[in-house]
Structure 1
Amino acid sequence: MPDPKFFISYSRKDSSFVLKLAKELRAVHVNVWLDQLDIIPEQRWDHSIQRAMSDCQGILIVLSPNSVISENVLDEMAYALDKNKIILTVLCRPCDIPYRLLRIQFVDFSSNYCTGFQQLHSYTPSSPQKPVEQPIKPINKLGKPIAAVRKVQITATVLGISLVLLFFYFIY
């Protein structure tokens, strides 16, 4: 998936919740990157994760008793904070939230998944469902962009003036 918007950070022990969440977010056109869905065989997972984290605009951290003690999740959280990434936190199950995330409002999925999903979806930008149209560039009668024609005209004018000046220089 090119240009991931949100990297999902989680504990593998919460895989069933995270896979469901990622697939449902994609279904409503939210661009997410998840290792289990986006790393293909033969790719080095550590390089893939590093590239996805640096390319993403934000990180979605799934909080649970398992994730708050995961070294990988804590490293990913620290990276996102240090790089000033957008941080969305999802409370999968009640837990002690890491100190560095305490001031960030979380979306609570622990009591009602559907309510949590609706709330999270309202905070995440969706990818456009249709391609964005390119702006129309003005063209001349020959079908060439006007800016390109002007550039050629200016170049020809400067060249012509230079030749005239050289001619008069050698004549007089």
Structure 2
Amino acid sequence: MIVNLEEFLRSHSIYFELYNHDPIYTNEDAVIMKAEKGFAGTETKALFLKGKSEQYYSFVTFTTKRTDFKRLKQVVGEKVAVVKQEEMETITGQKAGAVTPLGYENTIPIIVDEELFEQEKLVFAPARPDQTMVILAKDLKKIIDLLGNELFSYNEEG
């Protein structure tokens, strides 16, 4: 189950911008839509992962970064892989290309690329391919804490 982020952020008086647009499923489409709508911020991607223990995770990083799965294993303590599309749709109701990094039930830990905290604004899909949300990077940890998800910090060093 996924929380309605718009309602959640509004109820906690957390700044956000929400843009409605044609559905986006690729990074190329996102760049075009960003230019059309004029929103600013660092583009992020979210990967819905599953560990050997059957634990699910949400991993948020830059759209331009390759994921180091060996490093992720060190961070969470188990080998993880991207969940197959059918399983992700069953568990979260989301389609590939529009995966939200936030808003999951609190049993799903969130893994955040530490460099995202250094950005000004973060851009992501709020579980819908026809919307884009922008939040202040400084609010990311607060949002995760309020949602009650365990937070793991990811960096490329060991």
Same fold (TM over 0.5): no
Which structure ranks higher in relative contact order (CA pairs < 8 Å, sequence separation ≥ 6)?
Answer: 2
Question: TM-score interval w.r.t. the shorter chain?
Answer: 0.3 to 0.5
Q: State the structure with more CA Rg.
A: 1
**Higher strand fraction (1 or 2):** 2
TM-score under structure 2 length normalisation: 0.36
**Higher helix fraction (1 or 2):** 1
